[in-house]
Structure 1
Amino acid sequence: MYKDTNYTPNHIPANERMQNIAFSILLAAYGAYGVWVNDLYIPGKRSKDIHLHDVPAWIMYAAFICACLVMLSVVVDHYDKRNNETNYKLFANVFKYLGWGFFVLSLIMAIIR
């Protein structure tokens, strides 16, 4: 197999990796708790806070999981020494847009209900 001698794998600083792992764990736990009590609270910065229940809460939790996957893909990419950064970039983009789609769908469903 052809090996590129000029290739250097991605280096993600340890601080950024730890932040991504910590935020992923916290976000997944927060979403799981919100779904468990059937009240997923989304604070608003410039608008009213939102409390999601039932299906909209589950869809928002799916958006949370997509965000976790995007953050964790950066960490996994750091440890993967193969020349496949484009695959990780594609993975992150797919789940980023999927997550935003879940986010918007959840809010629309909350408004319609």
Structure 2
Amino acid sequence: MKWLLRIVIAFSVSFVITMAMVVAGFIMAMFSTMDAGVRKFGLFGAIFFEAHEQPSGATAMEIGVADGTPIAIIFGIGFLFCLAVTVMLEKLKLRKKQLLQTQ
């Protein structure tokens, strides 16, 4: 049951971190676009932003995912890192308990 909890926590944390990076990438791509009709890519080419001027004079925005591979890689790295941290913390707690019992 401990492993299931560790996996769920690592999955949740890495999902939140990945989505925060995607949102930050969208915002950076949005504010780096100066001209209408220019498509800007962010987050290693995973996401794009493009502003169009419509015939009525309004500005339309187009945002999306161009390639999901970098997002999946970021998620995987974050998941493995979070899982490794939880395992290391558990091992350190066990070691501390062992040291306190030997005194």
Normalising TM by the smaller chain, what interval? Answer: 0.3 to 0.5
TM-score (norm 1): 0.33
TM-score (norm 2): 0.36
Relative contact order higher in (CA < 8 Å, ≥ 6 apart): 1
Please identify which structure carries the higher helix content: 1
Please identify the structure whose Cα radius of gyration is greater.
Answer: 2
